[in-house]
Amino acid sequence: MPRVTFLPDGKTIDVRLGTTLLAAARMAGVGVRTRCGGVMGCLMCKVSVRDGSAVSPPQEGERRKMGAGAGGMRLSCQAKALGDVTVEVPEDPLKAAVRKQLERQKEDEDLW
């Protein structure tokens, strides 16, 4: 059984061979943004697959949508686990904005 590890959460889950990374994320309770339900329509489910991870090669549709310079980025709805995989899930933009605002407030408090 392939083992999929999600960073930065550090959650790991064993999945069946050929399970998409999006399905694995859902089973592990890891939030991967998507709007199209996993049919390669929204391009929101991009994740970074670490070197040495065993995932299916990109099919023509994914290559066309992602472009040649994807650099380890994959659509989690298309990439399938063929062995152990380490995936880095980008921070949700809303969470990133809130985190930055909280950091600014903390800096302001430290000034007083």
Domains of the chain from N-terminus onward: 3-111 (3.10.20.30)
What pLDDT was estimated at residue 37?
Answer: 84
- Report pLDDT for 112: 67
Give me the pLDDT at residue 70, please: 67
Q: What is the pLDDT along the chain (112 residues), one digit of tens a residue?
A: 999 999 998 999 999 999 999 999 999 999 998 999 888 989 999 999 998 889 999 999 998 888 765 678 999 999 999 999 999 999 877 878 888 888 888 887 776 6
Angle at 12 between CA 10 and CA 14, to 5 degrees: 170
Beta sheet of 11-14, edge-to-edge order: 11-14, 3-7, 85-88, 46-49, 73-75
